């Protein structure tokens, strides 16, 4: 069997075009231009690439981007003061603080300080609780993107067995609630799980959010399963260049899975596209407009 490749790059491009069309509509009809503030502390090279790409895509969608760069040694109080200003800034509908933060800053305190209505990452405890109790909510971008990808090949997940490998607040835990909301039967696996290959082999859906290059092998996968690879691992190859690989051994897995996301070009592009979706949705909620059609 050769798996269907779920083309996240193309799906993200379609999604960005739909967001841009809705932004054009709300700007024309309501003079509303959605705006996102991106706060970056220090100079993490991976964050730099991500923030640049974010700024470009926000502009391409017709939204405003407000970039705030703070020095590596910024005091926590200064960052909290900036967030307090952004919370009350009417031009800002979404606030994103790039993680990780330097050691002198308590990341949870920072997340707690963001107005939940502007929390486009969906990390504020209020949004986490709303997601866990099945209420309408700002859904974290990467898990939202994963669900859009899986739904392309499996429009209904009801009754399917799903495993999520990884229990982070950013990916694994929100995925648990999103999958439950679609009536899948969900198992969360992690570094202490016994016999992970045997567990995975029973699953119709496999989500890998681990951060270990090619950990998931072909013989972990049930024939025909849908595999969503969230991993982004940078490895130095023999040619001296850095390559990005996922958590799944793609070359082997594609011969057994029914559908699979590649890395790069799978979940990655969906994350920023979903950030645009969340910013547009936040702008509409804050402005008391109906939800946008994305």
140 binds ligand NAD (CB under 6 A): no
Residue 73 among the catalytic residues = no
Output the smallest distance, CB 216 to ligand NAD, in A: 9
234 binds ligand NAD (CB under 6 A): no
- Identify which of residues 150 and 284 has a Cβ nearer to ligand NAD in the complex: 150
DSSP-derived secondary structure for 107-162: HHHHHHTS-GGGBTT--SHHHHHHHHTT-S----HHHHHHHHHHHHH-S--TT-EE
Output the smallest distance, CB 264 to ligand NAD, in A: 9
Nearest to 77 by CA among 115, 29, 109: 109
268 binds ligand NAD (CB under 6 A): yes
Backbone phi and psi for residue 135, each to the nearest 5 degrees, phi listed first: -90, 160
Output the smallest distance, CB 29 to ligand NAD, in A: 32
Q: What letter does residue 80 receive in the DSSP assignment?
A: H
CB 229 within 8 A of CB 247: yes
- Identify which of residues 208 and 256 has a Cβ nearer to ligand NAD in the complex: 208
267-286 and 8-30 are packed helices; what angle lies between their axes, rounded to 10 degrees? 20
Residue 98 among the catalytic residues = yes
Output the smallest distance, CB 9 to ligand NAD, in A: 12
- Answer for which of 94, 172, 174, 258 binds ligand NAD (CB under 6 A) is 172
- Identify which of residues 74 and 173 has a Cβ nearer to ligand NAD in the complex: 173
What distance in Å separates the CA atoms of residue 50 and residue 45, rounded to the nearest whole number? 9
Write out the residues near ligand NAD by the rule CB under 6 A: 142, 165-168, 170-172, 189-191, 193, 196, 209-212, 215, 230-233, 267-268, 271
């Amino acid at each position: 069997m050769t798996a269907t490749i779920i083309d996240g790059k193309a799906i993200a491009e379609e999604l960005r075009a739909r967001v841009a069309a809705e932004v054009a509509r709300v700007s024309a009809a309501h003079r509303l231009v959605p705006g996102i503030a991106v706060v970056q502390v220090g100079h993490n090279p991976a964050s730099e690439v991500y923030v640049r790409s974010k700024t470009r895509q926000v502009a391409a969608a017709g939204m405003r981007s407000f970039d705030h760069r703070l020095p590596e040694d910024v005091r926590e109080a200064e960052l909290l003061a900036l967030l307090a200003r952004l919370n009350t800034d009417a031009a800002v509908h979404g606030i994103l603080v790039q993680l990780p933060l330097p050691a002198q800053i308590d990341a949870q305190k920072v997340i707690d300080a963001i107005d939940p209505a502007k929390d486009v990452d969906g990390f504020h405890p209020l949004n986490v609780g709303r997601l866990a109790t099945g209420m309408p909510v700002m859904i974290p971008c990467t898990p939202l993107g994963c669900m859009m990808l899986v739904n392309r090949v499996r429009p209904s997940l009801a009754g399917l067995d799903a495993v999520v490998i990884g229990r982070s607040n950013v990916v694994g835990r929100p995925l648990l609630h999103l999958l439950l909301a679609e009536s899948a039967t969900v198992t969360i696996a992690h570094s202490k799980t016994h016999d992970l290959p045997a567990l995975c082999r029973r699953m119709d859906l496999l989500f890998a959010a681990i951060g270990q290059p090619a950990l998931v092998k072909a013989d972990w996968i049930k024939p025909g399963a849908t595999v969503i690879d969230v991993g982004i691992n940078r490895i130095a190859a023999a040619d001296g260049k850095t390559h990005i690989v996922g958590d799944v051994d793609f070359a082997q897995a594609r011969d057994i899975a029914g559908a699979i996301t590649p890395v790069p070009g799978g979940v990655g592009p969906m994350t920023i596209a979903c950030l645009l979706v969340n910013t547009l949705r936040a702008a509409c909620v804050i402005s008391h407009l109906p939800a946008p059609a994305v």
